[in-house]
Amino acid sequence: MIARSPRRGDLGGSDDAREGSTIVGFGHYVPERCVTNHEIEARLGLESGWIERRTGIVERRYAADTEALSDLARAAAEMALRASGIDRARVGLLLLATSTPDQPLPPTAPLVAHQLGLTGGAVDLAGACSGFVYALGMADAFAVRHRRPVLVVAANILSRRLNERDPATASLFGDGAGAVVVAPSRRLGSRAGVLGIDLASDGSAYGLIGIEAGGSCEPFSPTMDVAATQMRITDGRAVFSRAVHMMTASSQAALSQAEVSASLIDYWIPHQANARIVSATRQKLGVSEAKTVTSVARYGNSSAATIPLSWSLLAERQSLPEGACFLLSAAGAGMTGGAMVYRL
């Protein structure tokens, strides 16, 4: 299935094995509250079907008032750790990809690690929608170099950063979490883990998606307009074209690096921005619809969480065989993005 390229030998210099990684556990969590398009359309005075026609989204989940980001992350992580069957004392690192931590300081990852009984390193990654791809690349490198498992979690509670009167954001975003446990692998005569990765950024589009307040440029203040603390998309058409371009270019670069054609991957899991971006990118890449994994209709856009959430839902539905080849693609605020070819 995969074109062969020269393999890096093991520590003894043999060419029969390549140190890599593999995913040994998947997990996900979505809040109980289901928010339908009808609820949002009625509030905004939109005609029935408006949201689904433009986004492909039918419903999304909102966290309960009593739920924090750490709660979502911990639930997904628990599922992944149980599925992996590994000793938690062996986990060397927890990477939490999120744009909505429990609080600005300290990072949320150490709290989640403590709640899970982990004592290794723990850090947040603020990579917006591409955060999971970045985190998985780092996890693979850590597992390969240090031969210890890594827990990667991506989670967001975006419902608390929405302007409920703005159709552009209220229709898209929801809450959720996904997690994977990445472990070292030395399967003989095989390549496992990250086969190709391409990371990208385009700071010229920095202002297209964001939350203005709360940073060093505009600190919180008692007189602040609440709109400054909410998600804003300034130009939807520009976001669409730049996201499709970034996801396509990064995917092609990662496939080239891995020496795998798009037709030979087993599954493509894109960031679930909306159905139109997924469809346009899929057509440019030449990936069949049957190989495309989506969850956007039921869960909306939970930023970095969408890829691992979709991956875990897939693993829950069917067995994913050893050697299965995945293409992951993402682009989002910043703009930051990337793609990865990963082999189980």
Average pLDDT, the chain: 92
If you average pLDDT over residues 271-283, what whole number do you get?
97
Residue with tokens 């005569």: 189
Structure tokens at 134: 């970045």
Please give the residue range of the domain that contains residue 178: 20-185
pLDDT top residue among 319 and 9:
319
Q: Which of 158, 185, 212 finishes a domain?
A: 185
Residue 18's pLDDT is: 60
Question: Bridge-partner residues for 26, per DSSP?
Answer: 180
Q: Do 136 and 261 share a domain, yes or no?
A: no
What is the model's pLDDT at position 196? 96
The pLDDT tens digits of the residues spanning 20-45 come to 899 999 999 999 999 999 999 999 99
The residue-averaged pLDDT of 91-95 equals 98
Confidence (pLDDT) at 190? 60
Same domain, 88 and 49: yes
- pLDDT digits over 133-175, tens only? 999 999 999 999 999 999 999 999 999 999 999 999 999 999 9
- Please count the structural domains in the chain: 2
Measured between alpha carbons, how far is 277 from 129 in angstroms, rounded to an integer? Answer: 13
- pLDDT computed for residue 193 by the predictor: 93
CATH of the domain at 89: 3.40.47.10
Q: How far apart are the first and last CA of the chain?
A: 13
Regarding whether 247 and 337 lie in a shared domain, the answer is yes
Query: Is residue 117 domain-resident?
Result: yes
10 lies in some domain: no
Give the residue, 151 or 18, on which the prediction is more confident: 151
Q: Which residues are catalytic?
A: 129, 271, 301
| Domain co-membership, 128 together with 198 | no
What is the identity of the amino acid at 196? G
Are residues 202 and 329 part of one domain?
yes
In this structure, are 169 and 313 located in the same domain?
Answer: no
Q: Is the pLDDT of residue 197 over 90?
A: yes
Tell me the C-alpha distance between 186 and 131, whole Å.
27
Residue 131 lies in a domain: yes
Instruction: For residue 175, tell me if it sits in a domain.
Output: yes
Q: What angle do CA 111, 117, 121 make, to 5 degrees?
A: 60
- Both 152 and 239 in a single domain? no
Residue 7 is assigned to a structural domain of this protein: no
Looking at 185, 218, 246, which one is the last position of a domain?
185
pLDDT at 192: 87
